[in-house]
Amino acid sequence: MQIENTKAQLRKGVLELCILSILAKERKYASEIISHLKDAKLIIVEGTLYPLLTRLRSAGYLAYEWEESKNGPPRKYYSITAEGKDFLAELSGSWNELKDAVEQLTNPKN
């Protein structure tokens, strides 16, 4: 078992939650989402993001619209849907539970 692989798996698990949180405030196009995730050191390569975006979109949690760009290809702006917001609330709930559980197990206070 490779440590890098396990780390990547851990990150992948929370990526969808993070993508939805980034989009909860305002609509963004793929490269902006990427730079947020890169700043937070959540992804190392961009390839990880695209299938997740497509999956969230086909599940109805995200919507997108195309916009022309002056220098470069047209940009695809992603925004969160009402269903996506419900899903995000649910994911955040279970993330908090998980965080507490992991905290409790890895740092026992007594």
Partner 1 sequence: MNTTINVNLAGQHYYFDQAAKVKLEIYFEEIKSYFTDESFLQELMTDVEARIAELLNDIRLDSNQVITIQHIENVIQIMGEPNSFKIDEEKTQSESETKAIRKLFRDPDDRFLGGVASGVSHYFGLQVSWVRLIWLLLGLFSWGGFSILYIALWIFVPVAKTTSEKFMMKGEPINLSNLEKKIKEEFEEVADQIKNADYQKAKRKLKSKTARFFNAFAAVLVSFANLFLKFLGIIMVIAASLSLLVIFTFMFGIGLHEIFDIYLGNPFWPEIDIMHAEVSVWQTVFVGLIIVAVPVIYVF
Angle between helices 30-39 and 49-58 (to 10 degrees): 120
- Considering only residues 29-68, where is the footprint of partner 1 by CB under 8 A? 30-31, 44-48, 50-55, 57-58
- Considering only residues 69-88, where is the footprint of partner 1 by CB under 8 A? 71-76
Q: Quick check: 7 binds partner 1 (CB under 8 A)?
A: no
Closest of 102, 89, 104, 91 to residue 13, by C-alpha: 91
Give the burial class of 61: count Cβ atoms within 10 A of its Cβ; 0-12 exposed, 13-18 middle, 19 or more buried. buried
To partner 1, the closest distance from the beta carbon of 50 in angstroms equals 5
Closest of 78, 45, 42, 31 to residue 59, by C-alpha: 78
Is residue 68 within 8 A of residue 38, CB to CB? The reply is no
To partner 1, the closest distance from the beta carbon of 80 in angstroms equals 17
Question: How many residues sit close enough to partner 1 to count as binding (CB under 8 A)?
Answer: 22
Q: Quick check: 94 binds partner 1 (CB under 8 A)?
A: no
User: Which lies closer to partner 1 via its Cβ, residue 62 or residue 88?
Assistant: 62
Would you tell me which residues interact with partner 1 (CB under 8 A)?
Answer: 12, 30-31, 44-48, 50-55, 57-58, 71-76
